[in-house]
Amino acid sequence: MKKNILTGFSRLTKIQKLDLIAAQLPDPEVATDTMRSFWHPHAGTQRLFDEFSENTITNYFFPYGIAPNVLINGKMYMVPMVIEESSVIAAAANSAKFWAEKGGFHSEVVSFIKNGQVHFTWDGPFEVLTAEFATLERRLRKRTATITANMEQRGGGVLGMELIDMSHKLPNYYQLSVKFDTRDSMGANFINSCLEEYAAGLREYAENMPGLAPWKLDVIMSILSNYTPECLVKVWVESDISSFSSIDPSISAEDFVRKFEMAVNIAKVDVNRAVTHNKGIFNGIDAVALATGNDFRAIEASGHAWAAREGKYQGLTDISLENNRFNYSLTLPLSIGTVGGLTSLHPMARLSLDLLKDPSAKELMQIAAVIGLANNFSALKSLTTRGIQLGHMKMHLLNILNVYSATDYEKALAVEHFKHHKVSHKAVDDFLTSLRNQ
Amino acid sequence: MKKNILTGFSRLTKIQKLDLIAAQLPDPEVATDTMRSFWHPHAGTQRLFDEFSENTITNYFFPYGIAPNVLINGKMYMVPMVIEESSVIAAAANSAKFWAEKGGFHSEVVSFIKNGQVHFTWDGPFEVLTAEFATLERRLRKRTATITANMEQRGGGVLGMELIDMSHKLPNYYQLSVKFDTRDSMGANFINSCLEEYAAGLREYAENMPGLAPWKLDVIMSILSNYTPECLVKVWVESDISSFSSIDPSISAEDFVRKFEMAVNIAKVDVNRAVTHNKGIFNGIDAVALATGNDFRAIEASGHAWAAREGKYQGLTDISLENNRFNYSLTLPLSIGTVGGLTSLHPMARLSLDLLKDPSAKELMQIAAVIGLANNFSALKSLTTRGIQLGHMKMHLLNILNVYSATDYEKALAVEHFKHHKVSHKAVDDFLTSLRNQ
């Protein structure tokens, strides 16, 4: 087996790597051309992308689009979205316009604390360890003074720390749990750097503190948590129920909101629906995260775990229909940054933040969550009225036509034809076949 | 408020949209140049991207890299990964090589069923509705015969359907729940098209079936579920514990595996750690999903909800150290496709699938899950030994140098210097300042 293992791949130049990969492909020359065609034309810009990650040979493109008319707390935004799935941007834009005409979205940052832990084992009594915690905390904070200085200047830093007894869950297991304010950065590197210092300090403390000598402290790991239940944003829309009177010709305002409410409640009681309900929310949130250089895996992990915080996985939105008012909200944890990471390095992330008028992290939390709610509202509106396939397949029509290599002329005729017919792969195939046989 | 609402944005040409957006930015000319520089040089290829989504004005680039030496069930792969986060590809590659030397990864598809539901209310007795379910099912299947014909030719189709009483959760709430085999496609459009037909058939049945007339059936919505607990993949590695004897100079093989086991168990009992543990797994899985044109939001939503299936959110991996063997596995739902969607339309997604030798959906499930486990193994190995910041910040060094616009000469000196010093923004700043003042 060992003889098939490739050694030294990471040390090859980019061109050598690309050539080696092309040689694995059916037509190496075509593959080389394809991969090179995705390079950025400016060598300096391309080098940035090469250096974001490792073993890079080219770029992967996502469409970059705009949802206009996103009115949040009275301020109008053009929101950049990066997503490969058809109809997500159209849905966000439709929803944004619908709500802009009704006063827009409302939002607030509920809390703004990140956290991380030093996980360790300790085979002595907990009380002995905690007896002089004030001394320990002072020493630990001193160790990270140079790391935290900049963050403190920006108004953030370490908010507090505590020792947590977890030994009822696993034998001898304890945590040093630390809370942070990382201001406009997502803060992963800052938090991890602090925690690794704390781990070293904790080890030293256990070794040198008189009275602790008989027992052993072993650090298992030190790492931020991507679970941020204290970094919450809430966004909502509200209007009179009567304002839905012309939402769809088939349904009255009252029937619409009752059906909508039922759809929201179904996502509370059925996990099959809850997952898809929330997936649609993250379609919007991730599209904003991607466009602004943020880490969508962290956002997804935190949001979905939070959806399960009450012991079963549930939809993230809440509805109230009291006093003839429709009030629909989304609350979720959202750790997102507007400085650090790729936010200033990726030219299009930088442009996205410029387009949003250089928002703070708190402002971007609200914008991203609003797009999540906008997408969810559009999805539920379609699902509870005419279904999603009609609109979705119309949006997807051009992709299907591209699969069949339709010409511009054929596309124009097809778009006209399918204004009045149901789109499916088979229907498009039949349409083109009949057209081509004419 | 209404006067600020932009109308007709979606009907503008791409150039008009781009110009309108550029006009919002600090320097419209520079912004226009930046956005245009991200267009693909071939107009036809660029048009594909424009048509994937709506209101598109340019593309967003992600680095496209390769993890070599991924040995799965005896077959060697070069795995394409698309990710913006530094050190993820390096971690996957290191892990892959480590395990390739020990027989590689093992994997199996545990189950392969997708599902969707027609959610409806019914104000009569459940038994009356189900009494002639065989008739109903026959009629429903007949309605979708033209939709399912192609899928059946490929060996898939509708596997079964049932009516489910959900009225103990919400008043009058019932489901028609349907199981599907969508073969090598992710199947969302296929499932949704079938379900919308079933909804129409169900409505018709309730209206026309003798005996059902006194009661009312109301369809709330018809939609696939992204929760796929019956579309599971399991991947694992195994070796003698003694094979970890040289994994890190600071630790014996026995101490390493005990610490590693503790780290895995912590992710089972502490949600703060579980979320980050799983986030690292999805770093790898999503990178493969992105590179092959798959929908990562669906994968994330399903995986995280599954992590909470037992009433609390837990880490997705399992470890056993019996009989001096290290056995480490990852099991999760993974609905992913190798035909349909963007898989053949996106030139780089197509190239990724070619590089993987045109895998089936089941094969790609295994490859993606393996990369998830590879990333997680690397993360836990670093966390439980020297910590992650040392490696991560070294990988991130070039990004930091780019923030400070370092020249090639400065980069070369910095890379050499930071082989022996801790990387931080401040340390890089100090190093460059002192270099530039020399």
Spatial separation of the C-alpha atoms in residues A265 and A269, rounded to whole Å: 7
CATH of B114-224, one of 3.40.50.150, 3.60.20.30, 3.30.70.420, 3.30.230.10: 3.30.70.420
Cα dihedral: B58, B63, B67, B73 (round 10)? -20
pLDDT of residue B1 exceeding 80: no
Please work out, in degrees rounded to the nearest 5, the angle formed at the alpha carbon of residue B188 by the alpha carbons of A383 and A86: 75
Residue range B144-183, pLDDT digits in tens: 999 999 999 999 999 999 999 999 999 999 999 999 999 9
Please work out, in degrees rounded to the nearest 5, the angle formed at the alpha carbon of residue B81 by the alpha carbons of B76 and B87: 105
Q: Which two tokens stand for residue A417?
A: 């034809």
Alpha carbon B298 to its chain centroid, in Å, reads 7
Query: Nearest C-alpha of chain A: how many angstroms from B132?
Result: 26
Average pLDDT of chain A is: 95
What pLDDT score does A1 carry?
47
Contact check, Cβ <8 Å, A53/B89: yes
pLDDT of residue B40 exceeding 70: yes
Query: Residue B344: pLDDT band by 50, 70, 90 thresholds?
Result: confident
What pLDDT score does A345 carry?
92
What number is the ipTM of this complex? 0.94
pLDDT of residue B410 exceeding 80: yes
What pLDDT score does B391 carry?
75
Would you call B132 an interface residue with chain A, using a CB distance cutoff of 8 Å?
Answer: no
Contact check, Cβ <8 Å, A266/B173: yes
Would you call B274 an interface residue with chain A, using a CB distance cutoff of 8 Å?
Answer: yes
Name the residue facing B78 among A21, A68, A117 (closest C-beta).
Answer: A21
Contact check, Cβ <8 Å, B5/A97: yes
Name the residue facing A41 among B37, B262, B276 (closest C-beta).
Answer: B37
For the segment B234-240, the average pLDDT, to the nearest whole number, is 98
Average pLDDT of chain B is: 95
Contact check, Cβ <8 Å, A61/B56: no
Query: Nearest C-alpha of chain A: how many angstroms from B276?
Result: 5
Would you call A301 an interface residue with chain B, using a CB distance cutoff of 8 Å?
Answer: yes
Q: Are B325 and B240 in contact (CB under 8 A)?
A: yes
The total of other beta-carbon atoms located within 10 Å of residue B123's CB is 11
What pLDDT score does B3 carry?
58
What pLDDT score does B122 carry?
97
Query: Residue A399: pLDDT band by 50, 70, 90 thresholds?
Result: confident
pLDDT of residue B192 exceeding 50: yes
Q: Where are the alpha helices (DSSP H) in B237-360?
A: 253-269, 271-291, 296-307, 347-355
For the segment A28-37, the average pLDDT, to the nearest whole number, is 98
For the segment A264-268, the average pLDDT, to the nearest whole number, is 98
Query: Residue B2: pLDDT band by 50, 70, 90 thresholds?
Result: low
Spatial CB neighbours of B89, under 8 Å, sequence gap ≥ 6: A53, A54, A55, A56, B65, B66, B67, B81, B83, B287
The domain limits of chain B are 9-52, 65-111+232-386, 114-224, 392-437
Amino acid at B259: K
Q: Are B141 and B120 in contact (CB under 8 A)?
A: no
What pLDDT score does B151 carry?
94
Residues of chain B positioned with their CB less than 8 A from the CB of A290: 60
> The whole model's pTM is what?
0.95
Residues of chain A positioned with their CB less than 8 A from the CB of B175: 270
Question: Which is nearest to A279 in space by CA: A225, A317, A249, A311?
Answer: A317
Question: Can you tell me whether residue A301 is helix, strand or coil?
Answer: helix
Name the residue facing A170 among B61, B150, B266 (closest C-beta).
Answer: B266
Pick the residue with more confidence: B195 or B422? B195
Would you call A372 an interface residue with chain B, using a CB distance cutoff of 8 Å?
Answer: no
Residue B396 among the catalytic residues = no
Residue range A59-101, pLDDT digits in tens: 999 999 999 999 999 999 999 999 999 999 999 999 999 999 9
Residue range A321-346, pLDDT digits in tens: 999 999 999 999 999 999 988 888 99
CATH 3.40.50.300, applies to A65-111+232-386: no
For the segment B390-396, the average pLDDT, to the nearest whole number, is 76
pLDDT of residue B64 exceeding 90: yes
Is there a shared CATH topology between the A65-111+232-386 domain and the A114-224 domain? no
Q: Are A290 and B60 in contact (CB under 8 A)?
A: yes
